[in-house]
Structure 1
Amino acid sequence: MESLLTPGLILSLIIVVIGITIIGKGLVIVRQSEVMVIERLGSFNRILESGINIIIPFIERPRAITMIRYIKMGEEYHATSSEEIRIDRRETVMDFPAQPVVTTDNVTVKINGALYYQIIDPRRAVYEVANMSQAVEVLAKTTLRSVVGKMELDKLFESRAEVNSAIQAEMEEAASKWGVKLTRVEVQDINMPEEVEEAMRLQMAAERKRRATVTEAEGEKTAAIAMAQGQRESAILNAEGDKQSAILRAQGEQESIKLVLSAIGESEENKRTVVGYLLGQSYIKVLPNMAKDGERVFVPYESSALLGSMGMFREMAGNPEDVVRQSLQKDGLRSGMVAAGGTS
């Protein structure tokens, strides 16, 4: 029985195997958002985009890029490095460990930052820098120290957005040479020494106490102003009331005098008599109050003239109380003076 593996068949099988191998190695499928840098005989040839691509095996080969990534395990970061032939063009985040930074007021703080970047030119990322991800990381750390080193600690806490913008602006020029676009930089955690943190807590407590004192003083000031305004308005209203009362009393006395004069006549002698009578009444009304203030009351000499005027008024007008009362009743008025005259 002759063998079926003839030299011709064996050669054909070898050619088929080599062809399948060449096709398998030459057929490259690139996924979405990925690219591959292809070299032909050691020099750059082209960039393979997403989809089905064919390369010449053993003559063309993809160029690998070194990528460093950090993995956080608890409080520590572990770096991993890998050679990748597929370059991811999506936005990538690099969360690097905390870095010690000295501020202008000589306070050492540890700052943990996150860097977001995107490879927009794979050729530059491969050929312009030996290790693109490491270069970006080192640039971010040095720029962070440079920017934060120009600021005080209080300013650092107040203006994180300014720090992020300043770091991004200083890194963009260098990163663009490597075909990398920085989308944003974020300062995450700022850790201070314990003694500095305690001093800041005491300062914050003192500031809150000061604000409470100021607020309380402002409240007392507002209350005092409101009370003073109320007292002022009350005094004004009382003064207005006294003024109106005095005006009304004066008008009443004037009307009373007119009524008396109209009843007994308006001659000059009668006018003097009426005035003397009214003054005598006022004096008699004041005497009880004067007696309350002391054991003795001194009656001035002029009081005898006033009392004499009242006597003359009685002799001339008969009974002035009846005359005045009849005149007031005609006009529908009542005069306290007439009532007081009965007691004189």
Structure 2
Amino acid sequence: MEEYYILIAITLFVVLIVLKGIKQVPQGQAIIIERLGRYVRTLESGINFIIPFLDKKRVVKHLNYKQEGLSPYCVDLREQVYDIPSQSVITRDNINLTVDTLIFYQIIEPHKALYEISDLIMAIRELSRTTMRNVFGEMDLDTSLSSRDTINQKLRGILDEATDKWGVKILRVEIQDIVPPSDLKEDMERQMRAERTRRQEVTIAEGKKQAAILEAEGNKQSLILNAQGEAESRIMKAEAIKSEKILLAEGEAESIRLVQLAKAVGLDAVRKVYAEQEGANNLLMTEVLRSQNEIAKDIANGSSQKIFLPTELAGLFGSIKGIQELLSMRDAIPKSVSKE
């Protein structure tokens, strides 16, 4: 019976030892294990086994910044936000500014955060303050107020490099607010109002300038179009005058041609008459030719549709006609009669 109780006791002892060696770690957390006072390993999330009585969990609550409800033996591996208290910095142009900053960090290697630095949170706070003083000390007021992104990047790079040996990753640095002194703030507000007034005046002046330019362009286009219209009008008038002169010249040329043609025809007729009638009516034919030239000129010019002959010339034509009839009668008398 006693052996039975001893066996039960041994079994219970073994079960207790086994249960004591099983450690369950929640997701996003880690546990530091020491064996006889020396760091052995880091337990990750899930079921882990340790050697009871030899392995011991290390208290790490000082690594967790304001994490309530978290076991003092677990290191929070999630991203954490650290609100750096407002601090005073001096710019390159000796302006005192109050800066409020947020730091987003994450513990990557818990054993380094525990053994490489005695107080991780205080180290991050003091390091960020010193770094901000150095960064703002290299900038003047205007650059400090207008270059927050640049300042954030510089702070993050410097802090991340310094905290790397502590097993911490600086993810982001955000400047919440930059507050200048009250008197300087009033001066800046007045300057901003003056700047807004200046921009308004510049905008109005630019509008007037554009309006004047557009009006001048319109006047210029109007003058150009008017000049083009006048030029085209003068060209059309010149073309009309040119056409008129050409027509008049062609008419005169045609008139001269007709006169010359009439003269030529008259001369041919005179030559023909001279050939047929030997000398009797030469003088008469000369007068006829002169009258014919005058008649041809009148016909060519179109100045008269009626022809008036001089009285002497009409009588002369009658004498010619009579002489022609006598000559015809003489030619008709037989040769025998004439011999008698």
2-side partners of 1:70 and 1:190: how far apart?
Answer: 25
**Does the aligned pair in 2 maintain the 1:67–1:84 contact within 8 Å?**
no
Aligned position for 1:49: 44
Deviation at 1:240, TM superposition (A): 3.6
Deviation at 1:179, TM superposition (A): 0.9
The alignment's TM-score, normalised by the length of structure 1, stands at 0.62
Structure 1 residues 134 and 83: alpha-carbon distance in aligned structure 2, compared to 1, 3 A threshold: farther
Secondary structure of the 2:85 match is coil
Determine if contact 1:67/1:83 at 8 Å carries over to the other structure. no
Q: Which residue of 1 aligns with 2:126?
A: 138
2:63 counterpart of 1:39: no
Q: Write out aligned runs for 1:178-189 (5 A).
A: 178-189=166-177
How far apart in 2 are the matches of 1:100 and 1:124? Answer: 31
Where does residue 116 of structure 2 map in the other structure? 128
**Distance (Å, rounded) in 2 between the aligned partners of 1:23 and 1:248:** 119
Q: Determine which of 58, 63, 67 is the counterpart of 2:63.
A: 67
Q: Partners of 2:49 and 2:236 in 1: how far apart?
A: 118
Give yes or no for contact 1:26–1:56 (8 Å, CA) kept in 2: yes
User: Does residue 1:119 correspond to 2:107, yes or no?
Assistant: yes
Give, in whole Å, the separation in 2 of the partners of 1:147 and 1:28. 46
Q: What SS does the aligned partner of 1:93 have?
A: strand
User: How many Å apart are 1:227 and its aligned residue?
Assistant: 1.5
Task: Give structure 1 regions of 4+ aligned residues with deviation exceeding 6 angstroms.
Answer: 6-17, 250-263
How many angstroms apart in 1 are the aligned matches of 2:171 and 2:10?
Answer: 52
What secondary structure sits across from 1:231 in the alignment?
helix
Number of aligned residue pairs: 252
Measured against aligned partners, the alpha-carbon deviations of 1:46-90 in whole angstroms (never above 9, x if no partner) come to 22122223333443211222236369xxxxxxxx9x993211112
What does residue 332 of structure 1 align with?
none
Pick the structure with greater CA Rg.
2
1:226-305 correspondence runs (5 A): 226-246=214-234
Name the structure where helix makes up a greater proportion of residues.
2
| Equivalence map 1:291-330=2 (5 Å) | none
Instruction: Summarize deviations over 1:166-221 as a string: whole Å, max 9, x none.
Output: 11111222211111111111111222222222222222222222222222222212
Q: Deviation string for 1:252-298 (max 9, x for gaps)?
A: 778889999989xx9xxxxxxxxxxxxxxxxxxxxxxxxxxxxxxxx
Q: How does 1:147-226 map to 2 (within 5 A)?
A: 147-226=135-214
Q: CA deviation at 1:249?
A: 5.8
CA–CA distance in 2 between the matches of 1:14 and 1:259? 147
Separation in 2, partners of 1:30, 1:70 = 20
Task: Mark the runs of 5 or more structure 1 residues left unpaired by the alignment.
Answer: 1-5, 72-79, 267-326, 328-344
Q: Which moved more, 1:13-22 or 1:217-226?
A: 13-22
User: Is the contact made by 1:101 and 1:149 (CA closer than 8 Å) also made in structure 2?
Assistant: yes
- On the 8 A contact 1:90/1:119 being kept in 2, the answer is yes
- Name the structure 2 match of 1:90: 78
Shift of 1:15: 6.3
TM-score by length of 2: 0.63
Q: Matches of 1:41 and 1:161 in 2, distance apart?
A: 49
Distance 1:127 1:56, change over 3 A: same
2:107 and 2:168 in contact (8 A); partners too: yes
- Is contact 1:128-1:177 (8 Å) kept? yes
Report if the CA contact (8 A) 2:63-2:114 is conserved.
Answer: no
Aligned residues of 2:112 and 2:167 also touching (Cα < 8 A): yes
What secondary structure, in the 3-state scheme, does the structure 2 residue paired with 1:181 have? strand
Q: Percent identity?
A: 40
Q: For 2:25 and 2:237, locate their aligned partners in 1 and report how far apart those are by CA, in whole Å.
A: 111
Name the Cα RMSD after superposition: 3.6
CA distance in 2, matches of 1:42, 1:178: 20
Give the superposition deviation at 1:248.
5.6
Counterpart CA distance in 1 for 2:84 and 2:243 is 102
Per the alignment, in what secondary structure is the counterpart of residue 161 of structure 2? helix
Q: 1:257 to 1:20 in 2, by over 3 A?
A: closer
1:69 aligned partner, one-letter code: Y
**Residues of 2 paired with 1:258 and 1:60: CA distance?**
128
Is the CA contact (8 Å cut-off) linking 1:27 and 1:52 kept in structure 2?
yes
Offset of residue 238 of structure 1: 2.9
Matched letter for residue 67 of structure 1: L
